[in-house]
Amino acid sequence: MEFLAQAAAHWLDLLTAFCMSMLPVLELRGGIVFAAARGIPFVLAFLVCLLGNILPIPFILLFLRRVFAFLERFRYTARLVRWLERKARKKEGKLQKYELLGLFLLVAIPLPGTGAWTGALVAVVFDIQIRKSFPVIALGVLAAGCVMAALSYLAPDLFFSFA
């Protein structure tokens, strides 16, 4: 019951963290940092941001190829599609060498240019089956969430306990 009370007390911040986690670039990394800064309890923040980051991935895996085909019809958006495909191809060496482990690491390591959206883009460009890529991307998001939660919730406590 306390869990629901905490969720109700932080509903607007949770909604913001959820939406941030759905966005490319920010993803779960931005959502968890925001939630920690707003004082949202760890478990609540982690679950909401995890769900927010994973939710768009099946749609990206299912529909990105069709969206690319549509956008390639137009001069300006065709450039965007080519840029995104080049970005995905830059990850080709690691992905071919390590296959699904490479996809997992691409999603799990919380650095700029990595994450679930990039992982889904790479999976689509390299035609990795959804039944193989989605669980790997979801596990990568879980791992990135653990890293970001540790940095956002544990590191400040450790730092200030020594100061």
Residue 40 φ then ψ, to 5°: -75, 135
CB 95 within 8 A of CB 119: no
pLDDT at 56: 97
Output DSSP code: residue 70. Answer: H
Q: What is the percent of the chain where pLDDT is above 70?
A: 88
pLDDT at 113: 82
Q: Which residues constitute the domain of residue 64?
A: 2-162
pLDDT at 88: 81
pLDDT at 53: 97
Domain count, the chain: 1
Which portions of the chain are predicted below pLDDT 70? 1, 3-5, 7, 91, 93-94, 157-163
> Checking phi first, is residue 22 left (phi over 0); if not, alpha (psi -120 to 50) or beta?
alpha
